[in-house]
Amino acid sequence: MKTKNLKKSPLYNECYLFIKRIFDIICSIVGIIILIPLTLIVKIVFLCTGDFGSVFYRQKRLGKNGKIIKIFKYRTMVPNAELILEKWLKENPEKRKEYLKDRKIDNDPRITKIGNFLRKSSIDEFPQFINILIGDMSLIGPRPVVIDEVENYGKNKAKFLSMRPGLTGYWASNGRSNISYKERMKMELYYIDHCGILLDLQIIFDTFFAVIKKDGAK
């Protein structure tokens, strides 16, 4: 997918951001209506598998202009996931550098069986419609990163933080985990430079098919 890097007028930008926010509000309201019965189903499945922990998980991420936000997700890991990660990295020092570079682990020992399904189906991201409604996120934008992760963007850090993070985005709709972290950063910055109504519609279209095909989901 290629788009021309057009210089947008201030009026275009204002109209685009206004339309984008209205669209976010409408989509988040619909998403939350679906979220209510979906959460009940997920909770029942948790209980049936012997998992009595919270169905939700909140993680600190960086939002627009570096604001710290807490994004909602369905919990896909065991309750003591951070301790397990720390132990795993100590036992596998050769994998530590790889994890710090790509922020992912193949056959992650922290993920539950139900969590694995929620991730592959992208259902775990559904609660972020709450974040969209309150204005911490947008439907489309760069995916939110953890606090220390933003340093990877170097001189482009301010640019990356200039937009609300998105539930989906250019990278998220085009391969996700199949793409290296370096390429991911390029794609996120590409979206910021080229964002517009047509590109957003294309991303929505691509996201739909990526979810159906489980493209890059882990």
Span 52-72, pLDDT tens digits: 989 999 999 999 999 999 999
Between 107 and 64, the higher pLDDT residue: 64
142 assigned to some structural domain: yes
Q: How far apart are CA 53 and CA 33, in angstroms?
A: 23
Nearest 5°: the CA angle 108, 113, 114 is 120
144 assigned to some structural domain: yes
199 assigned to some structural domain: yes
179 assigned to some structural domain: yes
127 assigned to some structural domain: yes
Confidence of residue 218 (pLDDT cuts 50, 70, 90): low
Q: Is residue 3 scored above 50 in pLDDT?
A: no
Q: Do the beta carbons of residue 185 and residue 145 sit within 8 Å? A: no
pTM of the model: 0.84
- The predicted-structure confidence for 121-138, as pLDDT tens digits, reads as follows 889 999 999 999 999 999
Range of the domain at 37: 10-76+111-213
165 assigned to some structural domain: yes
85 assigned to some structural domain: no
Alpha-carbon distances, residue 113 vs 99, 119, 215 (angstroms): 21, 10, 19
Place of tokens 């682990």: 105
The rounded mean pLDDT for the chain is 88
196 assigned to some structural domain: yes
Percentage of the residues of the chain whose pLDDT score is greater than 90? 62
The tally of domains found in the chain comes to 1
